[in-house]
Amino acid sequence: MEEGSQNSEQLFEDDGNELEMEGNDIDIDSNGLDIEGNCLDIESNGLQDDCDGMLEIDDNHESNGDDVTAFSIENGISQGKNYPPPVVGMEFESYDDAYNYYNCYAKELGFAIRVKSSWTKRNSKEKRGAVLCCNCEGFKTIKEANSRRKETRTGCLAMIRLRLVESNRWRVDEVKLEHNHLFDHERAQNCKSHKKMDAVAKRKVEPTVDVEVRTIKLYRTSTADPVGYGNLNSLEGEISETVDRSKRLKLNKGDSQIIYDFFSRIQLTSPNFVYLIDLNDEGCLRNVFWIDSRSRAAYGYFGDVVAVDTTCLSSKYEIPLVAFVGVNHHGQSILLGCGLLADDTFESYVWLFRAWLTCMSGRSPQTIITDHCRAMQSAISEVFPRAHHRLHLSHVMQSLFENLGELQESDVFQMILNRTVYETMKVDEFEMGWDDMIRRFGLADHAWLCTLYEERERWAPVYQKDTFFAGMCTFENGEFRSSFFDGFVHKQTSLKEFFGKYELLVQEERKTEAINDLESRDSSPLLKTRCFYELQLSKLYTNEIFRRFQDEVVMMPCFSITQVHANGPVITYMIKEHEAEGDRSNIKNFEVMHDKAGTEIRCICSCFNFNGYLCRHCLCVLHYNGVEEIPFQYILSRWRKDFKRLYIPELGSNNIDISNPVQWFDHLHRRAMQVVEEGMISQDHYTAAWQAFKESLNKVRLVADKHV
């Protein structure tokens, strides 16, 4: 087993020394993950010619006693996709799910796998960790080398390391993707690991950190007492007064045509553009959702943390806009889909979330950040049951002051509240500080404040230490970085103005990302210290993320480091830090736990989970222990400047519908973009790519000539 693998037990767990190793090179028989449920397959019937082609209504579904309308997505979204390569942080519901995923990924790529090693708790059969490796790992022993069997091992290092974490999920905490041999699909098909896949295991399996369901019903509960059916021309106000106006999208005269014209134009220029509409029982437009192909592809890289921006909806803007926002490798906000909602009810949010999740192939984010809204909270529990739902701290603090009347003018109250929320390091400190604040200002009977306190685990930083935020929220001051349309959409912005700005804003965002990519690739950041950690990440991270990390390196010099506790290889240190330079009277203590054997480290400030890079306190402890490089698990691929990204949705070649022109385009475009990416490496690569394009075009034209 590889060094450190036996210490893959959850960091700082008391029974970390009670692991037993199992045999090496074991082939296991694992059943696939059978994703079941009352689901509706996504149709891929291409584009329809008439305007009603935006919507397909399927009445042949199970209603479970309710009158439910199901909508299926058009425009060539594939039902299948290639297995994404494993990355650190993937999580699975069970060990079998993890094994099946890696086995399917290997089969699709053209290699076989085996269990290199695994370990369990002492005196227990409960598996706690395992290393799955390429079948070509290692070399024959002397005894095996004398046999007549053909040598197949090449010392390949490709592998993944799995461990069982506190949430009772299996997490990938080490990945090596590079193989030192060619892939042989025919030989791989006959290997033990692939032969043992039964019919269930052959279904595509994805990590449960991303998967909720394979296909999602986009549904709404029908409105009560229908008064008859209208048509799409009834969107603007020519509807009878007997129709409940609260159950339809609030549009001004001409807005429905603006929406239709926008979708039609974008769809012609971008065949992978998808939009969905929800009609009420009178045939009036109720909810709308749209997303382009680049946003769908970007989600594959940056879908770990997603914010749902409902500012326009909750603040009663002219346009009831809801935006899904992520953060890219430059820490820049990116758009991951938009919607227009008739209201902020549970039904509308469920429809929107299911629409978005379906377009993302059922892959749920790890963390979802929203405003404080009961209906939205219930909808998230319904659609994203496995995701960590958190509230915008800045919005919570703002609403807190707004609901406290005269106290919002009190400097003393603001100081105590900010200290309690932002500066407490432990849960008991927060709760004691909150109780003292309530008693001091006589707020014990404040119903709204009591309700907010009951939900403290969704917004108070001290409860968020195990939640990954990718820098989207900064808990030092509650700043929130995920607003995408801030400064472009105001309360009086009309739908026409919005769609006029929308394309320009999206193009500007992508232009900025491209410029940042070039600058990060072609420039070397200026180093401010002689610390090797700074040099290490300056070669790996994009400029913006490196600058944020550099701030931590610059502040590394601490007052003192003291060892306070040891439990085997796990040692706890206390870091004393001055809050202000030169101020020796105001010192803060930070507790850091370091597992020397497993090269794992954790600080009570939880900078890594909040921001995606190690804090100065952890760096001090690593330096104190003579660790010369930041451990691999704390270098995230989502921040790397050399990580190749193709913003084209994956579409497996085995899943192409040969009668669907949209899928032809999807597949050919994705493959062409791979050539483009490789062709940008150097002038020689460009020349080879250009020559390949010319030869391909000539061959295609010869085929066309034969049919003339």
Query: Which tens digit of pLDDT belongs to each residue from 86-108?
Result: 887 787 888 888 898 898 888 88
- At 161 the three-state DSSP class reads strand
Most confident of 13-27, 271-285, 301-315: 301-315
- At 194 the three-state DSSP class reads helix
Residue-number span of the structural domain to which 134 is assigned: 90-139+152-199
Checking if the pLDDT of 633 tops 80, the result is yes
> For residue 462, what are its two tokens?
């001290």
- Split at pLDDT 50, 70, 90, the class of 662 is low
Do 633 and 669 lie in one domain? The reply is: no
Question: CA of 288: how far to CAs of 33, 338, 490, 642, in Å?
Answer: 33, 8, 20, 37
Do 396 and 294 lie in one domain? The reply is: yes
Nearest CA-CA partner of 392 in 376, 412, 410, 408: 376
Task: Please check whether residue 240 lies inside any domain of the structure.
Answer: no
Task: Please check whether residue 25 lies inside any domain of the structure.
Answer: no
Task: Please check whether residue 38 lies inside any domain of the structure.
Answer: no
Task: Please check whether residue 222 lies inside any domain of the structure.
Answer: no
pLDDT tens digit sequence for 447-504: 889 999 999 999 999 999 999 999 887 666 545 555 788 888 888 999 999 998 898 8
Helix (H) or strand (E) holding 500: helix 495-522
Do 552 and 625 lie in one domain? The reply is: yes
pLDDT at 197 (0 to 100): 59
**559 close to 576: Cβ distance less than 8 angstroms:** yes
% of the chain at pLDDT higher than 90: 36
Do 452 and 368 lie in one domain? The reply is: yes
What is the average per-residue pLDDT within 342-361?
92
Do 174 and 294 lie in one domain? The reply is: no
What is the average per-residue pLDDT within 9-17?
38
Query: Bigger pLDDT: 187 or 12?
Result: 187
Q: Where a domain ends, among 607, 639, 671?
A: 639
**617 close to 558: Cβ distance less than 8 angstroms:** yes
Do 325 and 370 lie in one domain? The reply is: yes
Do 556 and 595 lie in one domain? The reply is: yes
pLDDT at 57 (0 to 100): 28
**430 close to 462: Cβ distance less than 8 angstroms:** yes
- Split at pLDDT 50, 70, 90, the class of 65 is very low
Q: How far apart are CA 562 and CA 447, in angstroms?
A: 45
Checking if the pLDDT of 13 tops 70, the result is no
> For residue 591, what are its two tokens?
């507790």
For residue 575, report the phi and psi dihedrals to the nearest 5 degrees: -105, 125
Residue identified by tokens 């949705």 is 649
Checking if the pLDDT of 586 tops 60, the result is yes
Task: Please check whether residue 674 lies inside any domain of the structure.
Answer: yes
For the entire predicted model, the pTM comes to 0.63
% of the chain at pLDDT higher than 70: 71
Do 133 and 262 lie in one domain? The reply is: no
pLDDT at 24 (0 to 100): 44
Do 323 and 375 lie in one domain? The reply is: yes
pLDDT at 552 (0 to 100): 93
Do 130 and 174 lie in one domain? The reply is: yes
Do 291 and 383 lie in one domain? The reply is: yes
Please state, rounded to an integer, the average pLDDT across all residues of the chain: 76
Checking if the pLDDT of 546 tops 60, the result is yes
Q: How far apart are CA 129 and CA 5, in angstroms?
A: 8
What is the average per-residue pLDDT within 418-429?
93
Checking if the pLDDT of 708 tops 80, the result is no
DSSP-assigned beta bridge partners for residue 321: 340
Task: Please check whether residue 372 lies inside any domain of the structure.
Answer: yes
Q: Per the structure, how many domains does the chain have?
A: 4
Q: Which amino acid is at 519?
A: E
Q: How far apart are CA 449 and CA 461, in angstroms?
A: 17
Q: Where a domain ends, among 463, 492, 511?
A: 463
pLDDT tens digit sequence for 310-351: 989 888 889 999 999 999 999 999 999 999 999 999 999 999
Task: Please check whether residue 343 lies inside any domain of the structure.
Answer: yes
> For residue 307, what are its two tokens?
């914010």
Task: Please check whether residue 632 lies inside any domain of the structure.
Answer: yes
What is the average per-residue pLDDT within 603-616?
94
Query: Bigger pLDDT: 115 or 194?
Result: 115
Do 599 and 569 lie in one domain? The reply is: yes
